[in-house]
Amino acid sequence: MDKTGRLIVLTGPSGVGKGTLVSLLRQHHPDLFLSISATTRSPRPGEVNGVHYYFLTREAFGRLIDEGKLLEWAQYLDNYYGTPSQPVLEHLAQGSDVLLEIEVQGARQVLQNFPQALSIFILPPDLDTLRTRLAKRRTESPEAMEKRLTRAETEIAHSLEFSYQVVNDQLNRCLEQLESMLYPG
């Protein structure tokens, strides 16, 4: 009998370490399908179109919205982010587990349509640590960083809406906690 895959939603504020955790998870579990999000923001140094994100114009992103081809989408700090639905639904139907690494607003949308999804909110140890992590990335202006921190406070207030909350204070411990949730036993 065919088995439908699990939908796994990983979210949390910007700079909390979601990308690093996802990279490590995929190294340990290469069969875990990672959905690639679309965005209107510019690529950061080293990011590759179709690998890290699908980098789209606002017009192209708007067409995806109009055509109903996004599982979720949200505007975040003057840019749009969204999850193309077709690859996610195809992999779930084929029995693959699908991981969405998405921002909080989008994660909440996904859970409205997929309440059975396993949802995990990654928390920073505290806001000062998050500020330090964002500063080390050196990808944003001080103003953009402050916007991200303000947004993080609001997002953290919604963390209990998700199935699990995991504090990323020590990377290896956080990874072990994620793996025990995804692959118990």
**DSSP assignment of 101-129, as one string?**
E--HHHHHHHHHH-TTSEEEEEE-S-HHH
Looking at the domain assignment, is residue 142 inside a domain?
A: yes
Structure tokens at 19: 């990308």
What integer pLDDT is reported at residue 1 of this predicted model? Answer: 45
Looking at the domain assignment, is residue 176 inside a domain?
A: yes
140: containing domain: 7-182
pLDDT tens for the chain, 185 residues: list them: 468 899 999 999 988 999 999 999 999 999 999 999 999 999 988 999 999 899 999 999 999 999 999 999 988 778 999 999 999 999 999 999 999 999 899 999 999 999 999 999 999 999 999 888 888 887 778 888 888 899 999 999 999 999 999 999 999 999 999 999 999 87
Would you call 9 helix, strand, or coil by DSSP? Answer: strand
Looking at the domain assignment, is residue 1 inside a domain?
A: no
Looking at the domain assignment, is residue 20 inside a domain?
A: yes
**Measured between alpha carbons, how far is 46 from 28 in angstroms, rounded to an integer?**
23
First and final C-alpha spacing in the chain: 23
Report the candidate in 23, 8, 25, 1 with the shortest Cα–Cα distance to residue 179. Answer: 25
Looking at the domain assignment, is residue 43 inside a domain?
A: yes
Distances 178 to 65, 77, 82, 181 between C-alpha atoms, Å: 32, 28, 23, 5
Looking at the domain assignment, is residue 2 inside a domain?
A: no
Looking at the domain assignment, is residue 15 inside a domain?
A: yes
CB proximity list for 113: less than 8 A, separation 6 or greater: 71
Q: What are phi and psi of 123, to 5 degrees?
A: -105, 150
Give alpha helix (H) positions in the chain: 18-28, 58-66, 85-93, 104-113, 127-137, 142-156, 171-182
Looking at the domain assignment, is residue 69 inside a domain?
A: yes
The number of domains in the chain is 1
Residue 19: CATH number of its domain: 3.40.50.300
* Residue 54, number of CB atoms within 10 A of its CB: 16
**Measured between alpha carbons, how far is 61 from 69 in angstroms, rounded to an integer?**
10
